[in-house]
Amino acid sequence: MADQKKMVEAITPMEEDFAKWYTDIVKKAELMDYTSVRGCMVIEPYGFAIWENIRDNLDRRFKELGHENVSMPMFIPESLLQKEKDHVEGFAPEVAWVTMGGSEQLEERLCVRPTSETLFCDHYAKVIHSWRDLPKLYNQWCSVVRWEKTTRPFLRSVEFHWQEGHTMHETAEEAMQETEQMLKVYADFCESDLAIPVIKGRKTDKEKFAGAEATYTIEAMMHDGKALQSGTSHYFGDGFARAFDVTFTGRDNMLQHPHQTSWGMSTRIIGGIIMTHGDNNGLVLPPAVAPIQVMIIPIAQHKEGVLDKAGELLARLKKSFRVKMDDSEQSPGWKFAQYEMKGVPLRLEIGPKDIEKGQCVLVRRTDREKVFVPLEHLEEAIAEQLEIVRKGMYEAALARRESMTYTAETLDELKEIAENKPGFIKAMWCGSQDCEEKLKDIAGVSSRCMPFEQEHIADTCVCCGKPAKEMVYWGKSY
């Protein structure tokens, strides 16, 4: 992205204080506000509109693959949660409990759902009887609660919005296909719609989801070189099904346990959009999820015919794009800075001279390039410019990730990179959790994933020198 004159002085430069830059943007762009409930936020209309566009785009993809939306309770009885030991132990520190109902003590504590595997399994035990009932391809859109100690808007909050898919399958092979398919859905969505390049891979056993046999992830790099786990897909085998006595009569007339998956993406991805694409002038939003794709700015709007023509364009373009017009009394310069800060992909300027020539001016948020467009070809030009914006955002993020990805063959190399060069580190690993924990202790990096696209960097583990089994992306993360 081209160097730009800083237009919004209220935003702290990211080079000066990245955390403050991030907070300034979420506040100045009116994405969220703080509340009197610790760790919980108000997602304001502009921020929620981004989430709605994410939701709608993902929901369409899910339904095209045969998934159906359902709604589960927000409370889980403690006895139900306790049925899957590994799962409950993994979530125990983050669980919020309800102990009172009105003025009476509850006979059994209720957990405010941190995730819904147990609820889905309890339901599946009642509705799955035969192989003909499978697969069950369910998803729900909801909020969940995890009692986080340290919070940050969108990235980590006590309550957050997400979708959680929970599916049951006749065979392990079908469940694995579902797990991998949904990871590809997330990856394609991030790269195509959000312009965020991601690395697809499998989590180590140390980092996998509680109760899962395997967890797959997409990892994105933020401006500051840290990783953001942007979506996950889990294969559970039949562990939950056994714990909850979910059975079905198979094709051989024998009772069997189905094989389960779950997968999710949350409002955390909004933080990912901000930290991947934002600059020192504010948000830079991918056109696919931007609440406003085109902002019309009348120039010299006091002159006869300008507001009429701008209003005419607004009515026309609303049929194809998310478009608004600012006809307030603020100066054009103020409006330019305001909507640049809010990340609107395209600005449309029209004034008296443009009207005389039968044209308007389109200005891209990403590089401020101006394009003069005949009004008769306006829809085609806007679609073309929005794609230029999306492609430029993706290419800039990919180039940054590649420039901030390093390789290490020895422990000293890895430590030196981790200390002095923000970004990802590719290094070989023996598969030992001891080595994984040692790298966390001495270099401050965690395993991000074992990528599907493996590279052979060295024969030995970067930590212990024993024969290597996997190439791993290591890094610091949110």
Burial of 1: CB neighbours in 10 Å, binned 0-12, 13-18, 19+: middle
The pLDDT tens digits along the chain (478 residues) read: 444 445 556 899 999 999 999 999 999 999 999 999 999 999 999 999 999 999 999 999 999 999 999 999 999 999 998 887 777 777 788 899 999 999 999 999 999 999 999 999 999 999 999 999 999 999 999 999 999 989 999 999 999 999 999 999 999 999 999 999 999 999 999 999 999 999 999 999 999 998 899 999 999 999 999 999 999 999 999 999 999 999 999 999 999 999 999 999 999 999 999 999 999 999 999 999 999 999 999 999 999 999 999 999 999 999 999 999 999 999 999 999 999 999 999 999 999 999 999 999 999 999 999 999 999 999 999 999 999 999 999 999 999 999 999 999 999 999 999 999 999 999 999 999 999 999 999 999 999 999 999 999 999 999 999 999 999 999 999 9
Q: Give a yes or no: residue 282 inside a domain.
A: no
**Both 187 and 156 in a single domain?**
yes
The CATH number given to whatever domain includes residue 354 is 3.40.50.800
pLDDT at residue 7, rounded to an integer = 52
pLDDT at residue 2, rounded to an integer = 41
Q: Give a yes or no: residue 394 inside a domain.
A: no
Burial of 165: CB neighbours in 10 Å, binned 0-12, 13-18, 19+: buried
**Both 252 and 333 in a single domain?**
no
Q: Give a yes or no: residue 285 inside a domain.
A: no
**Both 429 and 376 in a single domain?**
no
**Both 262 and 299 in a single domain?**
no
CA 430, CA 389: separation in Å to the nearest integer?
A: 42
Q: Tell me the sheet residues that pair with 104.
A: 101
Contact 21, 14 (CB under 8 A): yes
Q: Give a yes or no: residue 78 inside a domain.
A: yes
**Both 157 and 306 in a single domain?**
no
**Both 303 and 173 in a single domain?**
no
**Both 229 and 188 in a single domain?**
yes
CA 2, CA 285: separation in Å to the nearest integer?
A: 16
CA 4, CA 366: separation in Å to the nearest integer?
A: 10
Q: Give a yes or no: residue 284 inside a domain.
A: no
**Both 97 and 40 in a single domain?**
yes
Q: Give a yes or no: residue 140 inside a domain.
A: yes
**Sign, CA torsion 422/426/430/433:** positive
User: What is the extent of the structural domain holding 380?
Assistant: 294-389
Q: For residue range 53-100, what is the model confidence (pLDDT) as tens digits?
A: 999 999 999 999 999 999 999 999 999 988 877 777 777 888 999 999
**Both 243 and 112 in a single domain?**
yes
Domain count, the chain: 3
How is residue 191 written in tokens? 């790269």
**Both 268 and 354 in a single domain?**
no
Q: What would the 3-class secondary structure string for the chain be?
A: CCCCCCCCCCCCCCCCCHHHHHHHHHHHCCCEEECCCCCCEEECHHHHHHHHHHHHHHHHHHHHCCCEECCCCCEEEHHHHCCCHHHHHHHHHHCEEEEEECCEEEEEEEEECCCCHHHHHHHHHHHCCEHHHCCEEEEEEEEEECCCCCCECCCECCEEEEEEEEEEECCHHHHHHHHHHHHHHHHHHHHHHCCCCCEEEECCCCCCCCCCCEEEEEEEECCCCCEEEEEEEEEEECHHHHHCCCCEECCCCCEECCEEEEEEEECHHHHHHHHHHCECCECCCCCCCCCCCEEEEECCCCCCCHHHHHHHHHHHHCCCCCEEECCCCCCHHHHHHHHHHCCCCEEEEECHHHHHHCEEEEEECCCCCEEEEEHHHHHHHHHHHHHHHHHHHHHHHHHHHHHCEEECCCHHHHHHHHHHCCCEEEEEECCCHHHHHHHHHHHCCEEEEEECCCCCCCCECCCCCCECCEEEEEECEC
**Both 72 and 133 in a single domain?**
yes
The CATH number given to whatever domain includes residue 411 is 3.30.110.30
Single residue among 361, 389, 417 that ends a domain in this structure: 389
Q: Give a yes or no: residue 289 inside a domain.
A: no
Entry pTM:
0.94
CB atoms within 10 A of CB 399: 12
Cα–Cα nearest to 359, from 391, 381, 327: 381
**Both 204 and 326 in a single domain?**
no
Q: For residue range 341-369, what is the model confidence (pLDDT) as tens digits?
A: 999 999 999 999 999 999 999 999 999 99
The CATH number given to whatever domain includes residue 38 is 3.30.930.10
Single residue among 346, 365, 389 that ends a domain in this structure: 389
Q: Give a yes or no: residue 351 inside a domain.
A: yes
Determine the residue type at 322: R
